């Protein structure tokens, strides 16, 4: 009997203890304990990306200014942690974007034609095209869909040997971003603007790369085979995508963000930072791979290894393009990575950055996460449409392969030697902090 009473007392004790602890955890006693029931966060490494740790470095030239352009200078800057794509964006990765735009347009046309099988939402007065059933396989040959999709193909008079092909001119992508710099302007903050939609920017861009870049970039050079095959043929799947404008590269980053965060929302997971183009400072910091004042990503001042082999895909010597193993672009990751594990930070294709090009940007930009941006319009002078490109390409001499070399291309141009890769700002200080 006494044993039973002792057990009952223990049960009552633990019940009272649980009640007290629950009371403390709920904050009923007035203690500051933070918002409760928050999601536990774990490091998330985006697929195909590598972690670049925060740090400071000497930004700028590591060698003489060969063209005497006077556009760079030595400057100590600090960078937060971020993720960067291990390689340049490949043809096959960019094709996923193109195919998504193509299929979304097709599904919308089918929905407008009244085929409700392609809608998730039901009993709506107007179809919600954001709710198209992406799990349903798009049936291009379905009798109900053929007529709705007819105008997505080239008109009969434009077909080559009667090939029924998608009209790439129809592949327009509508995307949005928030201009936080404009929202942070003192005048806008003081006015207390209630309509925040003025800071939501919209653009529509055709996403298909300019395959003719292989021809129009080089007069009197036979590059028609590359125009015919480079973007779509499986042989070039793992080659870097080229012929992409700065705006197309930015649109790809925004689409990639929505693709990942859309999947996370469906799983009721916390959203991640946006994918974006790297700032030129982030690009140079990542390219150096933690090696201070090194001219090239691989470390030393030489462009050959100990066996006399070239260390990147560029234009060596006096124009012997093939001496490095390739005539133009090569598969990504053909050469060894730098100490951060990043491939092709020098050569293969030059890469877009997010920054506008200004010769004096180093003088007025901040020394913490430097970032000079300008959203050029169609009517702006061409000088304001310049965007910084980095890394050098298969058609460049070794000077442009150096970590500190900077040059530019115009945001509305597409070149057969120019591609890009994405970055994502790290959530926190450095990976492993939460452990």
Per-residue pLDDT tens digits for 58-69: 898 876 666 666
**What pLDDT score does 192 carry?**
64
The pLDDT confidence band at residue 218, using thresholds 50, 70 and 90, is very high
Euclidean distance between CA atoms 359 and 256, whole angstroms:
31
Determine the pLDDT at residue 189.
Answer: 77
Q: CB neighbours (10 Å) of residue 36?
A: 8
- Residue 396, domain member (yes or no): yes
Q: Say if 101 falls within a structural domain.
A: no
**Has residue 10 been placed in a domain?**
no
In a domain, 160, yes or no: no
What is the average per-residue pLDDT within 208-228?
96
Q: Which two tokens stand for residue 17?
A: 């203890």
Say if residue 419's pLDDT is above 70. yes
pLDDT value, residue 258: 95
Q: Could you tell me the pLDDT band of residue 370, with boundaries at 50, 70 and 90?
A: very high
Task: Give the model's pLDDT for residue 1.
Answer: 56
The total number of structural domains that make up the chain: 1
For residue range 6-18, list pLDDT tens digits in order: 666 665 655 655 5
Mean local confidence (pLDDT), 404-428: 96
Instruction: Please give the residue range of the domain that contains residue 349.
Output: 50-90+230-435
Instruction: Report the pLDDT value the prediction gives residue 43, as an integer from 0 to 100.
Output: 81
- The whole-angstrom separation of Cα 353 and Cα 371 is 10
Cα–Cα distance measured from residue 152 to residue 321, given in angstroms and rounded to the nearest whole number: 40
Q: Which two tokens stand for residue 35?
A: 């918002």
CA 198, CA 80: separation in Å to the nearest integer? 29
Report if residue 70 sits inside a domain: yes
Task: Indicate whether 286 belongs to any domain.
Answer: yes
Question: For the chain, what is the mean pLDDT?
Answer: 87
CATH of the domain at 427: 3.90.1580.10
> Alpha-carbon distance 297 to 340, whole Å?
10
CA neighbor of 346 nearest in space, from 304, 299, 296, 310: 296
Residue 167 in domain: no
Q: What is the full DSSP assignment across 10-54?
A: HHHHHHHHHHHHHHHHTTTT------SSPPPP-----TTEEEE--
What does the pLDDT read at residue 347? Answer: 96
pLDDT at position 171 is 96
Q: Is residue 110 part of a domain?
A: no
């Amino acid at each position: 009997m006494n044993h039973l009473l002792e057990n009952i007392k223990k049960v009552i004790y633990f019940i009272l203890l649980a009640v007290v602890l629950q009371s403390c955890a709920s904050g009923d006693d007035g203690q500051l304990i933070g918002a409760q029931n928050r999601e536990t966060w774990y490091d998330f490494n985006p697929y195909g990306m590598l972690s670049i740790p925060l740090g400071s470095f000497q930004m700028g030239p590591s060698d003489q200014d060969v063209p005497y352009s006077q556009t760079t200078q030595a400057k100590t800057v600090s960078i937060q942690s971020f993720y960067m794509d291990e390689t340049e964006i490949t043809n096959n990765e960019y094709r996923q974007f193109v195919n998504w735009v193509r299929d979304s347009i097709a599904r919308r046309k089918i929905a407008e034609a009244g085929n409700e099988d392609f809608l998730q939402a039901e009993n709506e007065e107007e179809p919600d095209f954001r709710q198209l059933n992406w799990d349903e396989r798009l049936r291009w040959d379905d009798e109900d869909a053929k007529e709705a999709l007819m105008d997505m193909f080239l008109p009969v008079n434009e077909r080559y040997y009667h090939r029924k092909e998608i009209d790439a001119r129809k592949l327009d992508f509508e995307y949005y971003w928030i201009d936080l710099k404009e929202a942070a302007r003192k005048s806008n903050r003081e006015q207390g603007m209630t309509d925040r939609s003025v800071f939501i920017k919209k653009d529509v861009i055709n996403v298909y790369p300019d395959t003719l870049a292989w021809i129009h970039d080089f007069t009197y050079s036979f590059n028609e085979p590359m125009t015919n095959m480079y973007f779509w043929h499986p042989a070039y799947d793992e080659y870097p995508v080229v012929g992409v404008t700065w705006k197309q590269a930015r649109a790809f980053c925004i689409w990639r963000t929505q693709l990942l965060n859309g999947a996370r929302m469906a799983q009721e997971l916390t959203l991640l930072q946006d994918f974006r183009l790297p700032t030129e400072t982030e690009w140079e910091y990542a390219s150096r791979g933690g090696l201070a004042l090194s001219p090239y990503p691989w470390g030393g001042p030489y462009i050959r290894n100990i066996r006399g082999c070239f260390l990147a895909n560029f234009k060596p010597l006096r124009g012997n393009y093939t001496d490095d193993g390739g005539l133009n672009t090569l598969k990504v990751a053909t050469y060894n990575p730098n100490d951060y594990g990043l491939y092709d930070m020098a050569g293969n294709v030059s890469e877009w950055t997010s920054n506008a090009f200004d010769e004096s940007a180093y003088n007025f930009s901040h020394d913490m996460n430097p970032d000079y941006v300008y959203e050029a319009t169609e009517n702006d002078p061409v000088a304001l449409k310049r965007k910084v490109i980095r890394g050098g390409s298969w058609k460049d001499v070794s000077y442009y392969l150096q970590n500190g070399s900077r040059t530019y291309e115009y945001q509305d141009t597409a070149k057969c030697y120019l591609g890009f890769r994405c970055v994502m700002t790290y959530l926190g200080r450095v990976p492993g902090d939460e452990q």
